[in-house]
Amino acid sequence: MAQQSPANKAPTGYDDTPFIPGTEWRVHDGTRPQPRIITPVAESSQNEPPSDAIVLFDGSDLSKWTGRDGDAAWKVENGYMEVTRAGNIETKEHFGDCQLHLEWAAPAEVKGDSQGRGNSGVFLMGNYEIQVLDGYDNPTYADGITAAIYGQYPPLVNACRKPGEWQTYDIFFLAPRFGGQKLISPAYITVVHNGVLVQNHQAAMGPTGHRQAPSYSEPHPPQGPIMLQDHGDLVRYRNIWIRTL
């Protein structure tokens, strides 16, 4: 069941989902403590990529990306891309261990609440979601707030800027290792949000999912795409680059 959800509101938590392994919390538990709110530095970077980076989006086109029906059909204008209702998009090239930089902005005009407000997501290997959400003064379940490893780990703090402002993610990702059907080592995820460490070398419990207990029961290939989520909200991205490790 969903908690605290009058008919016209998005749920801010669940009390009927499986427990997250090794924790006292259910997936998307509405009673899990919220990350402390802090104020990050005011500026966003939009720095030049380092010389060995693969530029995935420089503001001009989506040639490095593919979408549901072939071409990535998100809108590109004014140096950014914006979600349309064309489905998720993902990189044509696949990656394993990497450093990923991107910048995003939730709509300046606030619509919806909880998970229905400025929701998108950055999926490493198409499987591990770092939540993108307008988490500024927006109550929702802790493992679904901005920069959560979705359904697993809330961020260490909530470092959100206001809706409409550009925000940065710097993600350091080590892919999981499988030997046949068996997990040898999990994915490790570090995230810096607006210059603040919010995920510190967290061992992912498996691919992320909605209302699902995570597990590595199904091995996946050693590389996968970077995927950006169409969750129906008009989130923007710019300055996306990656370094393979």
Q: Give the residue with the Cβ less far from Mg ion, 119 or 194.
A: 119
Pick from 165, 200, 181: nearest CA to 39: 165
Helix/strand/coil for 211: coil
Q: Shortest distance, CB of residue 93 to Mg ion, whole angstroms? A: 22
Q: Shortest distance, CB of residue 123 to Mg ion, whole angstroms? A: 9
Q: Does 155 bind Mg ion (CB under 5 A)?
A: no
For tokens 């349309």, name the residue: 84
Q: Which stretch binds Mg ion (CB under 5 A): 9-17, 103-111, 120-128, 205-213?
A: 120-128
Q: Give the residue with the Cβ less far from Mg ion, 121 or 225.
A: 121
- Asked whether the CA dihedral 230, 94, 194, 204 is positive or negative, the reply is positive
Q: Give the residue with the Cβ less far from Mg ion, 121 or 176.
A: 121
70 Cβ contact list (under 8 Å, min separation 6):
none
Q: Does 144 bind Mg ion (CB under 5 A)?
A: no
With CB under 5 A as the rule, give the number of residues binding Mg ion. 3
Q: Does 207 bind Mg ion (CB under 5 A)?
A: no
Q: Does 135 bind Mg ion (CB under 5 A)?
A: no
Per-residue binding string, Mg ion, 54-93, x by CB under 5 A, is ----------------------------------------
Q: Give the residue with the Cβ less far from Mg ion, 50 or 232.
A: 232
Q: Does 224 bind Mg ion (CB under 5 A)?
A: no
Pick from 123, 101, 65, 85: nearest CA to 235: 85
Q: Give the residue with the Cβ less far from Mg ion, 14 or 185.
A: 14
Phi, psi for 143 (deg, rounded to 5): -85, 10
CA distance 95 to 125: 7
CA distance 214 to 117: 24
18 Cβ contact list (under 8 Å, min separation 6):
26, 27, 212, 213
Q: 116, 118, 121, 225: which one contacts Mg ion (CB under 5 A)?
A: 121
Binding footprint of Mg ion on the chain (CB under 5 A): 119, 121, 229
